[in-house]
Amino acid sequence: MRILTGNDLKTGAVTWWTGSDWSLHVEDAVDVTGNEDEIARVEEAERRVNVPYAIDAEMHQGHPRPAHIKDRIRALGPTVRQDLTLKPADPEIRNWVI
């Protein structure tokens, strides 16, 4: 599957396309295969996201998981500062990233 990501224009935060809006959580991402260019064009024009692009992902325990480690780190936050990640209380989250 392909999912669409970018950075919020104002804050720079990593965001994921949910089908109707942008979410901070990759679990909310939807498959955009075939439509990624058009969605990216419209959303960038409306300034809701900065430099959107599509990445490969796979379903993992019912949710999208980016195929490449770089995108998984983007989705979560720095692996060396778990207190700054989106899931600071999850001791298993390293396994999801690595």
Site residues, another protein (CB under 8 A): 7, 9-14, 44, 47, 50-51, 67-70, 73-74, 77-81, 84
Q: Which is closer to another protein, CB of 64 or CB of 77?
A: 77
| Angle at 83 (CA atoms; ends 80, 85), nearest 5 degrees | 75
Q: Which is closer to another protein, CB of 59 or CB of 84?
A: 84
**CA 28/CA 17 separation, integer angstroms:** 8
Q: Which is closer to another protein, CB of 13 or CB of 19?
A: 13
Least Å distance, CB 32 to another protein, is: 20
Least Å distance, CB 73 to another protein, is: 6
Question: Which contiguous run of DSSP H or E holds residue 46?
Answer: none
Nearest one of 34, 17, 27, 98 to 60, comparing CA atoms: 27
Q: Which residues pair with 59 in a beta bridge?
A: 64
Least Å distance, CB 86 to another protein, is: 10
Least Å distance, CB 70 to another protein, is: 6
Q: Count Cα neighbours of 58 within 13 Å in the Cβ-side half-sphere.
A: 5
